[in-house]
Amino acid sequence: MLRLVAQRVLALVPLLLIVSVLTFSFTSLLPSDPVDLILGESGTQEQHDMLRKRMGLDQPVQVRYAAWLGKAVRGDLGTSFFSSVSVTDAVLQRLPVTLSLTAFSALIAIVVGVAAGVAAALKPQSLADRLATLGATFGQAVPNFWFGLILVAIFAVGLRWFPATGFVRFSESPSDWLRSVTLPSIALGLSASAAIARQVRSAMVGVLQQDYIRAARAQGLSRSRVILRHALTNAMVPVVAVLSFQITVLLGGALVVEQVFSINGLGTLAIGAVRQQDIPMLQGLVLVMVALVVAVQLITDIIYGLLNPKARPS
């Protein structure tokens, strides 16, 4: 297991390098010139040249990349073209917001999805199964931003149980954090929970027909032990295999849901950076997002290895 983790962490280095090269070359292929964007039509040619030199944009791409990489390795992702704030600071400031939203919605999606999937699988074709299937279809069909607005209308504006917008940091007030993150997390996690419920149901139905379930029952194990220890651990193997994909989708969805709930997370930052063509900010964001996705994959791979003996390197 340790070897698996070490292998994966080492494989992270070339992957991040490749991604950084790609984002760097894509952004330098953009047709617009950041200097023009900053100065607009007004500046003189001299002013343009001066700014270009100060920003290092007169250098060839590979030199700029090497300089950027040298700093990035030390944790300095450059400076925003527009707000002159450090990209690292800006990203680190927003990261906990998006992370807590994604993590909480992943938790909701997994708990709701697994519970609904198991309930449906225990009695196929029953009322519970039909309701779960109906709910899953609804959950996958409904866009998260629309569902978010409905949640706000009912639970924030109507019932006033939760704030409609904004985000409170966990370090400031855990209870307010929970209140602020609940509605966006439900909106975000809905489609993932539906997808997980479907996968758990089909995997669980297959596992429950296996003879080791019959054997466990014949040995006199309690119903909960048969379902949780014997059936669910095996049914979760195919589910965990695609869980990293689900969480990656959540990470992308968070960027949208942040807009609905006016949360200042990475999404708001990214949309602003795209609009302004703030290249250093975009590069930093892409790199951090890729690192997050890879980290999620690493974690799910470890869980997969724990659940499935065949996947462990011997």
Partner 1 sequence: MTAAPLLEITDLHITYWRRSLLGLRGKPFHAVRGASLSIRPGETLGLVGESGSGKSSIANAVLGLAPVSSGSIRFAGSELAAMNARYPPSLRKRIQAVFQDPYSSLNPAMTVEDIITEPLRVHTELTRAERRAKAIELLQRVSLSEEHLRRHPYQFSGGQRQRIAIASALALQPEMIVLDEPVSALDVSTQNQIINLLYERREALGIAYLLIAHDLALVHHISDRIAVMYLGHIVEEGPSDRVFHAPAHPYTKALLDAVPLLDPQAQRRRRAARKSAPAPEAARVAPTGCPYRNRCPSAMKRCAEESPPAYSVAAGGVASCFLLADARPEAASAASATA
Contacts to partner 1 by CB under 8 A: 125-127, 130, 210-212, 214-222, 225, 230, 233-234, 237, 307-310
**Shortest distance in whole angstroms from residue 210 CB to partner 1:** 5
Return the HEC string of 278-304: CHHHHHHHHHHHHHHHHHHHHHHHHHH
**Shortest distance in whole angstroms from residue 7 CB to partner 1:** 21
d(CA 33, CA 94) in angstroms, rounded, equals: 27
Q: Measured from the CB atom, is 208 or 250 closer to partner 1?
A: 208
**Shortest distance in whole angstroms from residue 231 CB to partner 1:** 9
**Shortest distance in whole angstroms from residue 201 CB to partner 1:** 16
**Shortest distance in whole angstroms from residue 307 CB to partner 1:** 6
Please, are residues 167 and 131 in contact by the beta-carbon 8 Å criterion?
Answer: no
Please, are residues 232 and 240 in contact by the beta-carbon 8 Å criterion?
Answer: no
Please, are residues 288 and 94 in contact by the beta-carbon 8 Å criterion?
Answer: no
Q: Measured from the CB atom, is 106 or 232 closer to partner 1?
A: 232
**Shortest distance in whole angstroms from residue 114 CB to partner 1:** 16
Q: Measured from the CB atom, is 3 or 214 closer to partner 1?
A: 214
Q: Measured from the CB atom, is 53 or 225 closer to partner 1?
A: 225
**Shortest distance in whole angstroms from residue 310 CB to partner 1:** 6
- Per-residue burial over 67-106, b if 16 or more Cβ lie within 10 Å, else e, is ebeeebeeeebbbbbbeeebbbebbeebebbbebbbbbbb
Structure tokens at 189: 């996690």
Q: Measured from the CB atom, is 84 or 314 closer to partner 1?
A: 314
Q: Measured from the CB atom, is 40 or 220 closer to partner 1?
A: 220
d(CA 246, CA 117) in angstroms, rounded, equals: 16
How many Cα atoms occupy the beta-carbon half-sphere of 290 within 13 Å? 18
Q: What is the DSSP letter of 172?
A: T
Q: Measured from the CB atom, is 83 or 233 closer to partner 1?
A: 233
Alpha-carbon distance values, 21 to 62, 69, 286 (Å): 9, 9, 11
Alpha-carbon distance values, 57 to 138, 164, 218 (Å): 50, 43, 74
